[in-house]
Amino acid sequence: MKHALITGAYRGIGLEAARQIAKAGFHVWISARKVEEGEAAAQKLRDEGLEASFVALDVTDEASIQSAVQTVRAHSEVLDVLVNNAGVYPSGDGDISTLPASVLREALEANAIGPLLVTQAFWPLLQKSGSPRVVNVSSSAGRLYDMGAEMPAYGPSKTLLNAITRQFAGLDERVSVNSICPGWVRSEMGGQNAPRSVEEGANIITKLATMDSPPSGQFLNDAGEIGW
């Protein structure tokens, strides 16, 4: 059985992606900072007849990341899919001319540095897979070609995540590494006025996790490749 790990997967897009990937025949690792909520999410999938386990993981804490690697490795020496979904939209992210450094640091730590460290830590397990994939959940807010003055912390943090995607994609041609934009999704982060469901947002993640011969080094949404 193949194994997939999804960060920030106790709710929203992450949980739905875990459900879809598990339905494709994977054992999924639900990871989250919040232990009680994460364990409940994994149990929910098990109650649906799916293969799921919980592993505590705070993407901003290097000790937590290393502990998660050891937990996963104790069950499998191979990780086939890593989905870097965990992220934040920091409060106070309003105006670049007055943006506090603390707000920018919060966004960078969770949305870019965290996925970098998690991918580094799981890289040896991914390289043991016959078809390894990394899916980084980014956003159109990180696109440089049409970036405006909105979201001066969140947007650039996703731009850096996209650069990290390109760097890893160029490191080993065997490993498929892509950024995706799930769109504006009805979730705790996106709010209830968003036009897309979590199921729709998770579809592109599942596609890249399970398709034959996936691309690498691309920025994608449901419609295909999009600009950086």
Classify the phi-psi angles of 165: left when phi > 0, otherwise alpha if psi is within -120 to 50, otherwise beta.
alpha
Look at residues 45, 22, 17, 3 and name the one whose alpha carbon lies nearest to residue 180.
Answer: 17
> Is-catalytic flag, 154?
yes
Rounded to whole angstroms, the Cα distance separating 114 from 161 reads: 9
Residues 6+ apart with CB under 8 A from 111: 87, 88, 154, 157, 158, 160, 161
Q: What does each C-alpha distance from 200 to 124, 140, 166, 223 come to in angstroms?
A: 31, 16, 25, 12
Residues involved in catalysis: 154
